[in-house]
Amino acid sequence: MGNATHGTAEKLLPATTLSFRVTVVGQSRNDGEQNITSPELQVSLPQRGACGNHADMIQFRATYDRFQSSVQGCLILCSLDPDPDACASKCLKDGLGISSTCASCWVEMGHCTINSCSDCVFDPKGAACKACSESKCFPATVACSGIPMWRFPGV
């Protein structure tokens, strides 16, 4: 029996189907040494978090280029609303097409950034803001949304 390779899907996008082939290089067979390639394999990754479902991931990918600016815009637009969280969640749901549970993760990230990262108030695209958000707010957003940090808009 040969060696096995194991991995985890924690840093891959949830609710996604991956297709791949496995090649064993230099494997001995009856007719000599050659490479052996498997048929195409498909692996469906499980859902994870409030955004890591099929419908929200489709919308996340489709709106990726405007996702960050939409979150910022909805938070600003709703800041004076009697219920700013509900307003911002609805704004994101309507503007990006994501579910309200997914939207709430991004609203919470916005609150975290505003409350924890004062550099972001004056320079929201600056390096200090990015570093603060990544260290203080992204871990909770990963846990809530199910989307790995490497795929966050603006990273």
Report DSSP letters for 53-103, one per residue. Answer: SHHHHHHHHHTHHHHHHHHHHHHHHTTTSSSHHHHHHHHHHHHH---HHHH
Question: Which of 1-10, 27-36, 127-136 has the highest average model confidence (pLDDT)?
Answer: 127-136
18 is a domain residue: no
117 is a domain residue: yes
2 is a domain residue: no
Q: pLDDT class for 9, splitting at 50, 70, 90?
A: low
Query: What residue type is assigned to position 145 of the chain?
Result: S
Q: Tell me which of 14 and 87 has the higher pLDDT.
A: 87
Range of the domain at 133: 54-151
23 is a domain residue: no
Instruction: Determine the pLDDT at residue 154.
Output: 78
The string of pLDDT tens digits covering residues 31-73 is 666 888 889 989 888 999 999 999 999 999 999 999 999 999 9
The tokens 């509900």 sit on which residue?
A: 86
134 is a domain residue: yes
Number of domains in the chain: 1
90 is a domain residue: yes
The pTM of this model reads 0.81
Element (H, E) at 123: none
The string of pLDDT tens digits covering residues 73-131 is 999 999 999 999 999 999 999 999 999 999 999 999 999 999 999 998 889 889 999 99
107 is a domain residue: yes
Please list, in sequence order, all residues whose beta carbon lies within 8 angstroms of the beta carbon of residue 47, skipping any fewer than 6 positions away.
14, 15, 53, 54, 146
Instruction: Determine the pLDDT at residue 1.
Output: 47
Token reading at 58:
């489709």
4 is a domain residue: no
CA atoms within 13 A on the CB side of 56: 24
Supply the Cα-derived Rg of the chain in whole angstroms: 21
Instruction: Determine the pLDDT at residue 38.
Output: 84
Q: Which has the closest alpha carbon to 57: 101, 16, 88?
A: 16
How far apart (Å, rounded) are the C-alpha atoms in residues 67 and 60?
A: 8
